[in-house]
């Protein structure tokens, strides 16, 4: 029997009999807790503080029933990993009949958005009843605003610095809640940004070497793993490298790595990549054999060797047969050269399908 049915039957019997009704022990109702489900926003007080109601037997005898919230205790588990907390209990109505109704109240700030299952437990009262029920609180994400910075760089020299700032309306958020990417706007591979800050205020930094001068759009993202990223748009102004001469020696090399010829705009077929190879330009500080790594996104597929002289070299990159079997038409790949003590050089190229 539900508390509402129990209350209705007691009222009907009392009126029909025209006399006080003494409920037998078997008519005592079990405590029933009804937890609420509702929506709220992260990093803010809850949109409501009444989290549940419950009904229980009244104290006393017919004609002197009473309801006392102070005889009950309760806790709530918020479902977000924080420790359960005590709740406050207030009398809602009752005392005219042998049943009382109470409200369960508490407040909480959720640090992150999502859907959380609450568990509310109540005990006490004249008959020391206990009961539990679960509710659901849907916590909405708050907006993140981003502002891109102007990057001032020099061609051939590594830029290291801040590229964007983000403001999360959730003051409880921390850098570890997010990931970031940087698209430098020059066709190079997208890199991972470094996030610093706290309490909803963050900056994103990165490093990059622009091979050529000019202006480039810089796009920076900040995202939760499961949410649409916030985007900040900035720009990069890349100046030419100043001439560097020592003791009447020739100008020092510019660390350059770029695609030459038609492949720069229209790509190259897999057959042409195998032979005669991808035409590239490499600026080297000394004569040596460069190790050129092939990338798909951030994954390294393999590498090949290219011999260069000091200065600017026009050479062709050819993958080995084993490496070529990993490559597919219609995809974009990256090439990377790492030399200790020098900027990392990168470029991208596309393998196009052969014409039919």
Of the listed ranges 103-107, 172-176, 193-197, 339-343, the one predicted with least confidence: 339-343
**The overall pTM is greater than 0.75:** no
Domain ranges of the chain: 3-140, 146-239, 257-352
Which 3 state secondary structure label does DSSP give 169?
Answer: coil
**291 close to 305: Cβ distance less than 8 angstroms:** yes
Q: Which residues pair with 1 in a beta bridge?
A: none
Which residue, chain included where needed, has tokens 């891109």? Answer: 148
Which 3 state secondary structure label does DSSP give 187?
Answer: coil
In this model, does residue 10 exceed pLDDT 50?
no
pLDDT reported for residue 243: 65
pLDDT reported for residue 81: 95
| Residue 227: pLDDT band with limits 50, 70, 90 | low
Give the residue, 108 or 244, on which the prediction is more confident. 108
Least Cα distance to 151 among 208, 201, 222 occurs for 208
Share of the chain above pLDDT 90, in %: 48
In this model, does residue 79 exceed pLDDT 60?
yes
DSSP 227-259: SPPEEEEEEEEEEPPPP--STTPPPPP---EEE
Which 3 state secondary structure label does DSSP give 26?
Answer: helix
**76 close to 12: Cβ distance less than 8 angstroms:** no
In degrees and rounded to multiples of 5, residue 135 shows phi and psi of -120, -175
The alpha carbon of 166 is separated from its chain's Cα centroid by a whole number of angstroms, namely 13
Sign of the torsion formed by the C-alpha atoms of 54, 60, 64 and 70: negative
pLDDT reported for residue 228: 66
Of the listed ranges 63-77, 152-166, 184-198, 235-249, the one predicted with least confidence: 235-249
The pLDDT tens digits for 234-282 are 999 999 887 655 555 444 556 788 888 888 888 899 999 999 999 999 9
- Count the Cβ atoms, other than its own, within 10 Å of residue 290: 20
Q: What is the mean pLDDT of the chain?
A: 85
The pLDDT tens digits for 12-67 are 333 333 333 344 333 456 899 999 998 887 888 888 889 999 999 999 888 889 99
C-alpha span between 154 and 241 (Å, rounded): 6
H or E segment and range at residue 43: none
Query: Per 3-state DSSP, what percentage of the chain is helix, strand, and coil (rounded to 5)?
Result: 10, 50, 40
pLDDT reported for residue 19: 36
Q: Hey, what are 154's tokens?
A: 């020099």
2.40.50.140, 2.60.40.10, 3.40.50.300, 3.40.630.10: CATH of 146-239: 2.60.40.10
**Could you say which architecture CATH assigns to the domain 3-140?**
Sandwich (2.60)
**CB-based burial label for 194 (10 Å; 0-12, 13-18, 19+):** middle
2.30.29, 3.40.30, 3.40.50, 2.60.40: CATH of 257-352: 2.60.40
| Residue 342: pLDDT band with limits 50, 70, 90 | confident
Non-local CB neighbours of 12 within 8 Å, separated by 6+ positions: none
C-alpha span between 256 and 251 (Å, rounded): 14
Radius of gyration of the chain, Cα coordinates, nearest whole angstrom: 35
**221 close to 195: Cβ distance less than 8 angstroms:** no
pLDDT reported for residue 18: 39
H or E segment and range at residue 180: strand 179-183
pLDDT reported for residue 28: 58
pLDDT reported for residue 58: 92
- Per-residue pLDDT, averaged over 127-152, amounts to 91
In this model, does residue 294 exceed pLDDT 50?
yes
Please tell me if the domain spanning 3-140 has the same topology as the one spanning 146-239: yes
- Per-residue pLDDT, averaged over 133-144, amounts to 89
pLDDT reported for residue 31: 94
pLDDT reported for residue 9: 39
Give the residue, 242 or 133, on which the prediction is more confident. 133
């Amino acid at each position: 029997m539900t508390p509402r049915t129990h209350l209705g039957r007691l009222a009907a019997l009392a009126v029909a009999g025209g006399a006080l009704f003494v409920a037998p022990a078997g008519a005592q109702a079990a405590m029933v807790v009804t937890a609420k489900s509702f929506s709220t926003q992260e990093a803010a007080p809850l949109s409501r503080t009444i989290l549940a109601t419950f009904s229980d037997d009244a104290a006393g005898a017919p004609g002197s029933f009473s309801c006392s919230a102070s005889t009950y205790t309760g806790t709530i588990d918020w479902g977000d990993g924080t420790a359960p907390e005590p709740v406050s209990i207030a009398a809602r109505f009752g005392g005219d009949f042998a049943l009382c109704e109470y409200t369960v109240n508490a407040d909480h700030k959720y640090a992150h958005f999502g859907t959380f299952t609450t568990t509310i437990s109540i005990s006490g009262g004249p008959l020391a009843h206990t009961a539990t029920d679960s509710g659901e609180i849907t916590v909405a994400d708050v907006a993140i605003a981003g502002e891109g910075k102007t990057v001032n760089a020099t061609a051939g020299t590594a830029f290291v610095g801040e590229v964007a700032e983000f403001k999360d309306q959730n003051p409880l958020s921390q850098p570890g809640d997010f990931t970031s990417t940087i698209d430098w706007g020059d066709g190079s591979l997208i890199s991972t940004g470094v996030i610093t800050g706290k309490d909803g205020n963050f900056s994103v930094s990165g490093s990059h070497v622009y091979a050529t001068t000019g202006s480039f759009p810089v796009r920076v993202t900040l995202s939760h793993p499961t949410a649409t990223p916030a985007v900040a748009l900035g720009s990069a102004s890349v100046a030419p490298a100043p001439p560097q001469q020592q003791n009447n020696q020739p100008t020092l090399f510019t660390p350059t790595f770029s695609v030459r010829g038609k492949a720069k705009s229209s790509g190259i077929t897999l057959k042409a990549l195998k032979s005669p190879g991808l035409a590239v330009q490499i600026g080297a500080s000394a004569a040596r054999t460069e190790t050129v790594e092939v990338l798909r996104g951030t994954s390294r597929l393999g590498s090949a060797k290219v011999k260069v002289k000091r200065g600017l070299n026009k050479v062709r990159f050819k993958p080995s047969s084993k490496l070529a079997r990993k490559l597919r038409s219609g995809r974009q790949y990256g090439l990377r050269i790492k030399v200790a003590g020098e900027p990392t050089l990168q470029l991208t190229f596309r393998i196009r399908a052969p014409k039919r």
